[in-house]
Amino acid sequence: MNALLDNLRNNERLARKLFDIEIEIFSQYDSRSLLERLLAKVEASFQVPMVWLVLVDTQATQLLKRHVERSPVLQQYTLWIDPGAAHRLPSSPIDPLLVNNNIGDYSAWLPPAVHTQDIGSMALAPLQLNGRLAGVLVQADADPDRWNPNMDTFFLAQLAVKTSLCMANLVVREQLEFYATRDSLTGLLNRRELDLALAREVARSQRTQAPVSLLFLDLNDFKWVNDTHGHDAGDAVLQQLSATIEAEVRGIDTAFRYAGDEFVVVLPGVDRSAAGQIAARLSEAVARKPCSHGEAVIQYSISCGIACSHNLKDISVRGLLKAADDALYHEKRARQQPTTTPV
């Protein structure tokens, strides 16, 4: 009888801790916060020495991947695996897997923060997205008896199911937000977001007297790329250029796809001279990275128009865009002018 009562009390304590975790994760408004709080609460509530995520790198998890890449904590405690390696994940979409033998088989699944620690047992709780296995929440301990395969996994399964439901709801909402604000081909913010962001930066510039500059980029001879290599190759060039722009600008700068092969970069706090240096760096980066598509290696280049609020009378969204567009037009005209050598 005493043993039964002890078991009931223990289950009640577990249920209360799980309820606290559920309240925490269901109060989060984005996937990044959900995953960060999940790891922290599980570790603190159950005194687990090691907690991390193993996620499958698929199309369905790309938004999660964006969140992980932006979080120093999640970068340390998340490991991405190819779909081909997912056969080691729990075979059941609901039931957790408890392991205390052959731990070495899972050594490749240790993220940077835990790869040097000794592990005697692990609990792998499956996480789902859209009815498919997206990864596992892993808890580990040096004690081989902490997660014995003969143990009951009801509470752990309950946590995994509720985490999956919460994660799926947030991902659906974030997908809607993403596609409402992003260009579907390049992933850059769209024209509507440019208007909003530029309005904010113009207002900030007028309030603080700090400059804001604009780069208006255009692919040179893009029609030739499409006509010669096909529109799929043209799309690949646009995607690579977008990635190059994001890699080369600062964290506080924002890149947008304006239309077709035109892009805009907003540079807060940057004057005309510094904007020119950024434009030159972008052009050099593009020149160093031809686009590989199938068997073709496509060398391409960009032209860039620059405008700065400190050099304009019309300091407005329309005025900045027009000035940068005019500068782009003049640069492209200059590129097309034949050069002559005096006799």
The helix (H) or strand (E) run that includes residue 303 is strand 302-308
Instruction: Tell which residue, 154, 116, 156, 127, has the closest CA to residue 139.
Output: 156
Residues with a known catalytic role: 261
Contacts within 8 Å (CB) and 24+ apart, 273-281: 274/213, 275/213, 275/214, 275/215, 275/306, 275/308, 276/306, 278/215, 278/248, 278/249, 279/215, 279/304, 279/306, 281/248
Q: Nearest 5°: CA angle at 11, between 13 and 31?
A: 65
Rounded Cα distance between 73 and 40, Å, is 10
Sheet-wide strand order for 78-81: 78-81, 50-56, 132-141, 121-129, 97-99
- For tokens 């075979």, name the residue: 91
E strands, 207-293, where?
A: 212-219, 254-259, 262-268, 291-293
CA distances from 99 to 13, 89, 155, 258 (A): 24, 12, 17, 52
For residue 215, what are the β-bridge partners? Answer: 265, 306
Q: How many CB atoms lie within 10 A of CB 34?
A: 23
User: DSSP class of residue 283?
Assistant: H
